[in-house]
Amino acid sequence: MRSPPQSVCLALLAGSLAALVACSAIETEKANDELAAKLDPLMGKSRDAVFKRLGAPDSRRDLGDEEIWLYYKNYGIRNASSGRELPGHLGSGRPSESVFNSDAATGARSANEAYDRYSIYFVDGIAVRWEGRAAR
pLDDT at 98 over 70: no
Long-range contacts of 45-52 (CB under 8 A, 24+ apart): 45/126, 45/127, 46/125, 46/126, 46/127, 47/122, 47/125, 47/126, 47/127, 49/127, 50/120, 50/122, 50/127
Q: Residue 136: pLDDT band by 50, 70, 90 thresholds?
A: confident
Say which residue, 28 or 104, is predicted with more confidence.
Answer: 28
Identity of the residue numbered 21: V
Say which residue, 27 or 103, is predicted with more confidence.
Answer: 27
pLDDT for the residue 52: 97
- Tens-digit pLDDT profile for residues 25-75: 888 899 999 999 999 999 999 999 999 999 999 999 999 999 999 999 998
Alpha helices in 1-136 (DSSP H): 6-39, 47-54
Q: How many CB atoms lie within 10 A of CB 120?
A: 24
Q: How many CB atoms lie within 10 A of CB 39?
A: 22
- State how far the Cα of 117 lies from the Cα of 131, in Å rounded to an integer: 9
Identity of the residue numbered 59: S
Mean pLDDT to the nearest integer, 104-110: 51
- State how far the Cα of 26 lies from the Cα of 20, in Å rounded to an integer: 10
